[in-house]
């Protein structure tokens, strides 16, 4: 007597789906694999961190921080902003601003580039907002200087945002590599 032919590929698929729970588990696995492909393997190793308070500052300079600067956040996204020296490109300070809030931070006198990242899920200062992070840079440098006409006054730039805070400041998208 001869042995029966092995089941074909389609017969195996049919037999698999015939069991009601297997379809459910297969759906769960497919959703997981889809998210893994979309966000990358890093999501398996990283958890969200507690969101810092508005105005939390990381300082990377020895210069005195004495000029107040108002930094608003966006409507539905948190902001991690970074001032870098316009000439050297070195980081001067970073600041966190929660959605719908405004931070007032002290910065040193000088000329800076403002780069910022925004998003919704905070993964810390290394990963920022994960793969959904949007990076931007203000086009013009920000100048914090003593007023030549009135030496007792300090000129402080003001960030212009729209009324409902829905559009990011500046128009220049940058890459994560340029942000760092």
86 and 170 both lie in a single domain: yes
pLDDT digits (tens, 9 = 90+) for 48-81: 899 999 999 999 999 999 898 988 887 788 999 9
How many domains is the chain built from?
2
Tell how strand 134-137 and strand 110-119 pair up: antiparallel
CATH number reported for the structural domain that contains residue 172 in this entry: 2.60.40
74 and 36 both lie in a single domain: no
- Mean pLDDT across the chain, nearest whole number? 81
Residue with tokens 């921080």: 65
Average pLDDT over residues 134-147: 86
15 and 91 both lie in a single domain: no
Residue 115: domain span: 56-179
Q: Is residue 166 part of a domain?
A: yes
106 touches 93 (CB < 8 A): no
81 and 140 both lie in a single domain: yes
- Residue 57 pairs in a beta bridge with 95
Q: What is the largest CA-CA distance in the chain?
A: 107
pLDDT digits (tens, 9 = 90+) for 27-48: 887 887 777 666 565 555 678 8
Taking the whole predicted model, whether its pTM rises above 0.75 is answered as no
31 and 82 both lie in a single domain: no
């Amino acid at each position: 007597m001869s042995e029966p032919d092995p089941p074909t590929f389609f017969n195996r698929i049919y037999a698999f789906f015939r069991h009601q729970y297997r379809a459910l588990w297969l759906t769960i696995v497919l959703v997981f694999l889809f998210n893994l492909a979309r966000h990358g393997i890093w999501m398996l190793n990283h958890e969200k961190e507690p969101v810092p308070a508005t105005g939390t500052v990381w300082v990377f300079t020895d210069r005195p921080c004495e000029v107040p600067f108002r930094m608003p956040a966006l409507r539905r996204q948190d902001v991690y902003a970074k001032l870098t020296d316009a000439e050297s490109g070195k980081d001067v300070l970073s600041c966190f601003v929660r959605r719908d809030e405004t931070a007032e931070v002290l910065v040193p006198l000088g000329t800076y580039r403002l780069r910022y990242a925004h998003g919704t899920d905070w993964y810390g200062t290394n990963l920022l907002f994960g793969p959904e992070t949007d990076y931007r840079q203000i086009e013009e440098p920000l100048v914090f200087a003593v007023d030549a006409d009135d030496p007792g006054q300090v000129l402080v730039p003001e960030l212009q945002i729209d009324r409902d805070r829905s559009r990011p400041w500046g128009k220049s998208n940058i890459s994560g590599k340029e942000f760092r």
